[in-house]
């Protein structure tokens, strides 16, 4: 049988604060949306345009993340795609595709308070019985770690040949 791969990696900004609810069995389920934007040159006009996609993300067994996953923060998400079906209130079958996160890491871009967010805290879906949620290093303020906003290579979008 052929091997298959279902892997998603996103780097983007949170569209709203994460929300955590609990299943009947007590498992924490955190949900949030991530905006990813691509920039391209319109072939007809020659103008640069931005196109933003919104992706729903679900993270299991990490109830402590909601205090760190707040609107505007930049995150790295790694996981898999999952499509679910359900019946809406009118009895119509609906489908929902989301990323089931295995790793979520806070990056230093666009922060909430004090302009920069934290360093690089990581929250992972536990792969064993032990659960660990690591808050961002440095407590949230200032510019720490590898913040790409501070890097200026001296080139602009017009220098890119495509």
Asked if residue 157 belongs to a domain, the reply is no
Distance CA 63, CA 56 (A): 17
pLDDT, one tens digit per residue, over 42-95 is 999 999 999 999 999 999 988 778 888 999 999 999 999 999 999 999 999 999
For residue 118, being part of any structural domain is answered with: yes
Q: Is residue 161 part of a domain?
A: no
The answer to whether residue 108 sits within a structural domain is yes
Count the neighbouring beta carbons within 10 Å of the beta carbon of residue 32.
26
42 is a domain residue: yes
Query: Does residue 2 belong to any structural domain of this protein?
Result: no
Query: Residue 148 has what pLDDT?
Result: 41
Structural domain boundaries, residue 142 = 8-151
Query: 148 with 109: CB under 8 angstroms?
Result: yes
With a pLDDT cut of 70, the percent of the chain lying above it is 67
Mean pLDDT, the chain, whole residue set: 76
Q: Could you tell me which of 108, 112, 100, 113 has the C-alpha nearest to residue 143?
A: 108
pTM of the model: 0.64
Residue 1 in domain = no
- Total structural domains within the chain: 1
Which residue matches tokens 């795609």? 81
In a domain, 156, yes or no: no
Residue 30: exposure state from Cβ atoms within 10 A (0-12, 13-18, ≥19)? buried
Q: What is the CATH number of the domain that holds 22?
A: 2.40.50.140
pLDDT computed for residue 2 by the predictor: 81
Chain Cα centroid distance, residue 75: 5
**Residue 89 has what pLDDT?**
93
User: In whole angstroms, what is the distance from residue 97 CA to residue 57 CA?
Assistant: 9
Residue pair 13/34 in contact by the 8 Å Cβ criterion? yes
């Amino acid at each position: 049988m052929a091997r298959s791969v279902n892997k998603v990696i996103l780097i983007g900004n949170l569209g709203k604060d994460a929300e955590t609810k609990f299943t009947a069995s007590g498992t924490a389920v955190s949900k949030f949306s991530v905006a990813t934007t691509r920039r391209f040159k319109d072939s007809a006009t020659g103008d640069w345009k931005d196109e933003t996609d919104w992706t729903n993300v679900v993270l299991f067994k990490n109830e402590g993340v909601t205090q760190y996953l707040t609107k505007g923060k930049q995150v790295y998400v790694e996981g898999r795609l999952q499509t679910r079906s359900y019946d809406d209130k009118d009895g119509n079958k609906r489908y929902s595709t989301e990323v089931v996160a295995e790793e979520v890491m806070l990056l230093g871009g666009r922060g909430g308070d004090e302009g920069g967010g934290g360093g690089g805290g990581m929250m992972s879906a536990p792969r064993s019985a032990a659960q660990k949620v690591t808050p961002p290093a440095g407590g949230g303020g200032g510019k720490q770690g590898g913040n790409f906003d501070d890097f200026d290579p001296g080139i602009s979008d017009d220098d890119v040949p495509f």
